[in-house]
Amino acid sequence: MLRGADLRVTRPRLAVLTAVHDHPHADTDSLIGVVREDLGEVSHQAVYDVLRALTTAGLLRRIQPSGSVARYESRVGDNHHHVVCRSCGVIADVDCAVGHVPCLTASGDHGFVIDEAEVTYWGLCPDCSTTSTS
């Protein structure tokens, strides 16, 4: 379980974990809705707290493309990346060709100690690209 991360097992946490797993790249508000369908009334604060706790513990990953609210996913540890549609905002996973972290090394890194290279691809999803092209 998630007990391995020194976290207490509570209904909201299980529900949030399930919700993120079933709805990758969902924002907090959507997740609150999903959790409430599962548990009934749950405070938004609880969901925010749980998302932060799980993210800090490394069980979830928080992503936030420019202009978007925070989104969460349960795929962690595989160093994958994301492609974001400029038109509708939909997000899809893209496997990292390198596989390990960081998958890129910066040239001229100004002395920074880099531990992760986050890649966001921007473009148009299949639906939006065909719509605007036709």
Partner DNA sequence: AAGAGTAACTTGATTGATTCAAGAAAATGA
Partner DNA sequence: TCATTTTCTTGAATCAATCAAGTTACTCTT
* Binding site residues, a second copy, CB under 8 A: 62-64, 66-67, 70, 81, 83, 85, 92, 94-95, 97, 102, 104, 106-126, 129
Would you call 9 exposed, middle or buried from its count of C-beta atoms within 10 A (0-12, 13-18, 19+)?
exposed
Q: Cα 66–94–64 angle (5° rounding)?
A: 20
124's contact among DNA, a second copy, none, with CB below 5 to 8 A by partner kind, is: a second copy
Are the C-beta atoms of residues 118 and 104 closer than 8 Å to each other?
no
As measured in angstroms, the least distance from the Cβ of 68 to DNA is 8
| Binders of DNA in range 32-61 (CB under 7 A) | 41-46, 48-50, 52-53
85's contact among a second copy, DNA, none, with CB below 5 to 8 A by partner kind, is: a second copy
As measured in angstroms, the least distance from the Cβ of 106 to DNA is 25
Q: Is 70 in the site for DNA (CB under 7 A)?
A: yes
Nearest to 62 by CA among 20, 104, 29, 18: 20
- Please give the C-alpha separations between residue 91 and each of 53, 73, 75, in angstroms, as whole numbers: 23, 11, 13
Nearer to DNA, 9 or 97 (CB): 9
Would you call 41 exposed, middle or buried from its count of C-beta atoms within 10 A (0-12, 13-18, 19+)?
exposed
46's contact among a second copy, DNA, none, with CB below 5 to 8 A by partner kind, is: DNA
Q: List the beta bridge partners of residue 81.
A: 94
Note the residues at the interface with DNA (CB under 7 A): 3, 7-13, 27-29, 41-46, 48-50, 52-53, 64, 69-70
